[in-house]
């Protein structure tokens, strides 16, 4: 996967990667904070922000924010499975957002901020469903997280990549 390529990542292209590199994709609200938090997790090799789960090819930030594409702000995570497992990434996902609020995370409102797990293959699907069921036992309110096949991932514009990291380097908090 090239960080310079803007466009969709298909399941076939992703699994052509090295066997010590696996992928996960989540939507958990604004992708800036999700990306920043996941970059701090040991075993995470790379995180890209983008759009997934929609019905429009090559969407951009403005059209996604209009709410007419069906896309969620998402992160594509490349991880080393010998250092962090998919199940451990799921725990990070649950802990970083409120999975009981539909189409909202904090002050961000809209279907692009919905809670989603995009799975690559039946094994991830099974683990995601089990993880959701276990997490539901800990919540009084229903968990609204969608679990869906990964499909296409459209990499967001370059200014969104590592957004919070760039702001910190400029002295902006």
Q: Is 30 a catalytic residue?
A: yes
Phi (first) and psi of residue 133, to 5 degrees: -65, -40
- What are the structural domains of the chain? 11-162 (3.30.1060.10)
pLDDT tens digits, 10-68:
444 544 555 589 999 999 999 999 999 999 999 999 999 999 999 999 999 999 999 99
H-type alpha helices, the chain: 11-14, 31-39, 61-65, 86-95, 122-136, 163-169
pLDDT tens digits, 59-88:
999 999 999 999 999 999 999 999 999 999
Q: Is the pLDDT of residue 104 over 50?
A: yes
Which residue, chain included where needed, has tokens 């962090």?
Answer: 84
Query: Could you tell me which residues come within 8 angstroms of residue 143 by beta carbon, excluding any fewer than 6 positions away?
Result: 99, 100, 115, 132, 135, 136
Helix (H) or strand (E) holding 105, with range, is strand 104-105
As beta bridge partners, residue 27 has: 116
Q: Which of 30, 38, 74, 75 is catalytic?
A: 30
């Amino acid at each position: 996967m090239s960080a310079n390529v803007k466009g969709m990542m298909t399941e076939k292209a992703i699994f052509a990667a090295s066997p010590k590199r696996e992928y996960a994709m989540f939507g958990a609200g604004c992708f800036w904070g999700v990306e920043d938090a996941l970059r701090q997790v040991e075993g995470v090799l790379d995180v890209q922000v983008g759009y997934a789960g929609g019905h429009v090819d090559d969407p951009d930030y403005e059209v996604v924010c209009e709410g007419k594409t069906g896309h969620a702000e998402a992160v594509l995570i490349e991880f080393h499975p010998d250092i962090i497992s998919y199940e451990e990434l799921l725990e990070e996902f649950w802990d970083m957002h409120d999975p009981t609020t539909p189409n909202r995370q904090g002050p961000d409102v809209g279907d692009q901020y919905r809670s989603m797990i995009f799975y690559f293959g039946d094994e991830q699907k099974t683990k995601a469903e089990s993880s959701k069921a276990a997490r539901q036992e800990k919540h009084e309110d229903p968990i609204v997280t969608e679990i869906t096949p990964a499909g296409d991932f459209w990499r967001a514009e370059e200014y969104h990549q590592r957004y919070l990291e760039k702001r910190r380097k400029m002295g902006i908090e």
